Amino acid sequence: MNPRIRKVTPTEDYKLILTFTNGENGLYDCSSLLDFGVFQELKDKSYFNKVKVIDGTVTWPHEQDICPDTLYLDSKKENV
């Protein structure tokens, strides 16, 4: 099992700065999701910025979420 999300910080360009439970940091780009289904609502930057961590993954008020395994595997690991 991959680590889960401990902390999330949104950026102005639809990216998420993530801190994982294993101490690693990553940068996940959400821009490729913005034209699909329930994720279209994330185009509104004020709504995108309402992201928070619940049960080890990121989620928004209208229940959009991204699998924590996807976030870990597809994020660019770096010192952010």
Q: Where are the domains of the chain?
A: 5-77
Per-residue model confidence (pLDDT) at position 1: 81
pTM for the model stands at 0.94
Query: Taking all residues of the chain, what is their mean pLDDT, rounded to a whole number?
Result: 96
15-44 confidence digits (pLDDT tens)? 999 999 999 999 999 999 999 999 999 999
CB 8 within 8 A of CB 52: yes
| CATH superfamily entry for domain 5-77 | NE0471-like N-terminal domain (3.30.2020.10)
Q: What is the pLDDT of residue 50?
A: 98
Please report, rounded to a whole number, the percentage of residues in the chain having pLDDT higher than 70.
98
Could you give the CA distance from residue 50 to residue 76 in angstroms, rounded to a whole number?
A: 22
Strand order in the sheet with 25-29: 5-10, 15-20, 25-29, 76-77
Question: What's the token pair of residue 19?
Answer: 């801190």
